[in-house]
Amino acid sequence: MLDLNAKPDRPLVAASILSADFGYMIRDCREVLGKGADLLHVDVMDGHFAQNLTMGQDMIRALRRHLPDTVLDVHLMVERPGDYIDDFAKAGASNFTFHLEVHHGDDARALIDRIKDAGMTVGMAINPATPPDGLAPFLDLLDVVLVMSVVPGASGQSFMPEVLPKTQWAAQRVGDKTRVEMDGGLSPTTAPAAAAAGCDMMVTASALFGSDDRADVIRALHESAP
């Protein structure tokens, strides 16, 4: 299984299953993994923090059953991420990312400890409007720093280049064992700017699953680093 703590020699491609065909989920996942995607990204929304309802532990459990060797990068856009730690770990989540906007200070440190104790790597995400400074106390504890390049809620939105300085801020402060991830609007067109800012794990949704040549999209993201 992919080791998220190993610095990649090219950007990792995380296929966001939010844009897959839910009626053919495993087929779509196997296809993009077979065409070079490095891992799967699972967006969990509660209808409150993000104005959408998506998927939960049952989807994670099904993915793990069919894809036992695939990293499942679970991104919780929810108000109470602590409620899901144990269930998601048991279902087979590999990485558990929660938002700085809902947990900070000692509360966030306790949550990070719980996630690691459950056997998962841990990430912290920030929305486009959130300054990155709040991440600073936790950077040495995180396996993933996720900079949202769209407002959470739905796939298919346009990339927000104004968040690139935050990506650069994070990339300059984390060690080799921490991935700097971006999520939202990443495509062959926008990926080079993300890579130049220091992003080494790219989430792609509609640009990948909506393409007639998914292998070409994955190849372009892999080759986007300067």
Task: Give dist(CA 12, CA 4) in Å, integer.
Answer: 9
Given the DSSP bridges, would you call strands 72-77 and 144-148 parallel, antiparallel or unpaired?
unpaired
Question: Which one of the listed residues 28, 38, 46, 183 is annotated catalytic?
Answer: 183
The closest of 6, 8, 67, 5 to 33, measured between CA atoms, is 67
46 as an active site residue: the answer is no
Instruction: Match 């690691």 to its residue by tokens.
Output: 116
Contact 44, 12 (CB under 8 A): no
Residue 111: strand, helix, or coil = helix
Question: Which one of the listed residues 28, 43, 73, 200 is annotated catalytic?
Answer: 43
The closest of 210, 90, 226, 92 to 168, measured between CA atoms, is 226
183 as an active site residue: the answer is yes
Give the active site residues.
43, 183
